[in-house]
Chain A
Amino acid sequence: MSTTTRDLARPAPAKASSAKPRRGLRGSPTLNFWLFTGPFLIGLAIFVYAPILWSLWLSFFEARFTVTPDKFVGFDNYTYMLTNDDFVGSLGTFTVFAAFIVPTTWALSLGLALLVNRMRFMRAFFRSVFFLPTACSYVAAALIWKMSIFSGVRFGLMNTVLGWFGIDNIAWLIDPNPPWYWLVIVTARLWLQSGFYMILFIAALQNIPDELYEAAALDGAKPGWQTFRHITLPQLRATSTAVILLLLIAAYQAFDEFFNLLSKTTWGRPPLVELYYKALGESQDYGAGSAGALILTVLICAVTLLQGKIMGFGRGDESK
């Protein structure tokens, strides 16, 4: 279709006349390419590539309180981080967190999308309600959760509600046994991000051709679970894969709510919080911090590629 409109809009000879004659400075593709991409590429080199290389260099030095160290220590920083209980523990924290947040967000956002998508009235209203928390910051949510909803004292909303049923106050955040803090952290993030992924699922649901449902009905599939299981879910495969990958990457980078909800605690530190205290806290150990950052980078690359392999998610450059 595109070729026909093209031919109608512009007869063939015009191509030669429009592309060829302008070979001056203004029309030079090479020059223009660098003019357009230059500012971005320079910034990328300075603020993305240079820090990565610098940190690679730092990671092989003993760099405490300095970023221009001179004591080469080889792989000591790496062995230190990989045998450091706090750092390895933070990877465990991330694993637990991902195991909670990825399936729950996937299920809740898909559920909300299915509900909203079936609505005939007030659909835009409900979609807006579920989507509104996306506008909030993790800091604001952490504050509402910590200071009010999951406040450990009697006036906290959850404890008030539990009190109606005669249940004692629960110290949600300041006691790791039992680890109620996971409930606080997971619900905060669920509230914040489900609406966003719901939007993705709604868009995907509307792309499923009606004919599939009609054909399924003709074949005797019952509406409801059967249709969902055999039509909707397989049709959402691409979106689900992308959503899970995005959720994993987001969980990996979790910082804001852990930092704010669990300040001054020693438990429940995901990798970035651990690195923050390691590199920018009292010890200012840039060497070990850089080594940790690079270990994380390698891990996230591996997970991304692995998941891409397993679930067939790629940007179409497998052919190289």
Chain B
Amino acid sequence: MTTTTPQVRKSAPKPGKPRRVRSGGGVMSSTGLYIATGVAAVLFLIPFYVLLRNALSTDAAITGENWQIFPTDIQWGNIGELFSDETVPFARSLWNSAVVATLHTVGVLLVCSLAGYGLARIPYKHANKVFYAVLGTLMVPTAVTFVPSFVLVSSLGWVDTYRGLIIPGLFSGFTCFLFRQYFLGFPKELEEAARMDGLGYWGAYWRVVVPNSLNFFAAMATITFINGWNSFLWPLVIGQDPSSWTVQVALSSYMTNQTVVFHMIFMATAISILPLVFVFLFLQRWLVQGIAQTGIKG
């Protein structure tokens, strides 16, 4: 966690700049600063705490008269109960989410990075027109096109399939735009050296450009994966049959079910967040860097 601090500063124009500390005479003394931040931090952590507490409680302890802040008996058995429940296709939905989010990430990075590079670095007289055709799609938010997209995908027979869940989301004009901006700033000398060594555009891209851009790829991968795992509207539209639900759709359906089993719902939610918390803790530096560089999540 501590290693993340320098990463933000790296995006600043002057990397060696010392941390700015305006000490003395601010509106807020150091103690006040830490108290205010501490209170805010506690508020931000409460939802996580409530989630964990309820996930590891019995229904009686969740809905009972005396709501204990720190319950005494912790129900680890809830985990086993959730996965052994035949009526809830939770394990299946986790698997679906893992497949969809992973293939989504790989596909988006592959397709959009190639296009971004082509637009940024390969001279072609109509490149600008092509770029405007891509930019134009940014004005139309993908969420607004879900009705026509569903119409198209259902006429292809892709409802309830991985294809339908993954492929339509791969062609993100925004990710392509971000890659283009990044490659515009990629040092030309490296590519020219590669070309002198006899590599074509394709070879130079894979052997020189990509290996030297892994930071940016990692940042984009982290952001894309989180968005893929958390996306809801499109999987909801496409996943009509419970066997093709992603974890988000499954959670949503539990919420509207007639029979509410609280501890199961909270345990399912906690498990659905867990992979991302890991992604987050281990890859936070890429994430922060990516956001600071690109100014955008997805």
Give A residues with C-beta under 8 Å from B.
Answer: 5-6, 9-10, 14-15, 17-19, 22, 26-27, 29-30, 32-37, 39-41, 43-44, 46-52, 54-55, 58, 67, 112, 115-120, 123-149, 153-155, 157, 160, 191, 195-196, 199-200, 202-203, 206-207, 210, 213, 222-225, 242, 246, 249, 252-253, 255-256, 259-260, 263-264, 272, 275-276, 279-280, 286, 289-290, 292-293, 296-297, 300-301, 304, 315
Q: Which 3 A-B pairs have the closest CB atoms?
A: A36-B118, A55-B148, A40-B115
Task: Determine the residue in chain B with the shortest Cβ distance to A49.
Answer: B137
Q: Is the CB of A225 within 8 A of B2?
A: no
Given A32-B202, A39-B114, A280-B237, are A253 and B232 also a contact pair (CB < 8 Å)? no
The contact of B20 among A112, A210, A289, by CB within 8 Å, is A210
CB distance from A183 to the nearest CB of B (A): 14
The contact of B151 among A17, A67, A131, A253, by CB within 8 Å, is A67
CB distance from B202 to the nearest CB of A (A): 7
Give B residues with C-beta under 8 Å from A.
Answer: 1-2, 4-5, 8-9, 11-13, 17, 19-22, 24-28, 30, 33-34, 36-37, 40-41, 44-48, 50-51, 54, 62-65, 67, 111-112, 114-115, 117-119, 122-124, 127, 130, 133-135, 137, 139-152, 154-155, 167-168, 170-171, 173, 176, 188-189, 192-193, 195-196, 200-202, 205, 226, 229-230, 232-233, 236-237, 248, 251-252, 254-256, 260, 262, 265-266, 269, 272-273, 276-277, 279-281, 284, 287-288, 291-292, 295-297
Cα of A5 to Cα of B269 in the assembled complex, Å: 54
Q: Is the CB of A10 within 8 A of B189?
A: yes
The contact of A148 among B34, B54, B171, B226, by CB within 8 Å, is B54
Given A32-B118, A54-B148, A135-B276, are A40 and B112 also a contact pair (CB < 8 Å)? yes
Q: Is the CB of A30 within 8 A of B292?
A: no
Residues of B within 8 A of A138 (CB): 230, 232
Q: Is the CB of B141 within 8 A of A115?
A: no
Task: Determine the residue in chain A with the shortest Cβ distance to B196.
Answer: A18
CB distance from B172 to the nearest CB of A (A): 9
**Pairs A–B under 8 Å by Cβ, sample size 9:** A18-B195, A40-B176, A44-B171, A48-B140, A129-B44, A132-B44, A196-B291, A246-B295, A263-B256
Residues of B within 8 A of A275 (CB): 146-147
Cα of A100 to Cα of B190 in the assembled complex, Å: 49
Q: Is the CB of A223 within 8 A of B27?
A: yes
CB distance from B156 to the nearest CB of A (A): 9
**Which has the most chain B C-beta neighbours within 10 Å: A6, A118, A255?**
A118
Residues of A within 8 A of B265 (CB): 143, 147
Given A51-B152, A249-B141, are A255 and B1 also a contact pair (CB < 8 Å)? no
Q: Is the CB of A203 within 8 A of B143?
A: no
Q: Is the CB of B26 within 8 A of A144?
A: no
Q: Is the CB of A272 within 8 A of B276?
A: no
Q: Is the CB of B50 within 8 A of A148?
A: yes
Cα of A210 to Cα of B13 in the assembled complex, Å: 13
Residues of A within 8 A of B256 (CB): 263-264
Cα of A26 to Cα of B203 in the assembled complex, Å: 9
Residues of B within 8 A of A136 (CB): 230, 273, 276
Residues of A within 8 A of B33 (CB): 115, 118-119
Residues of B within 8 A of A144 (CB): 47, 50-51, 269
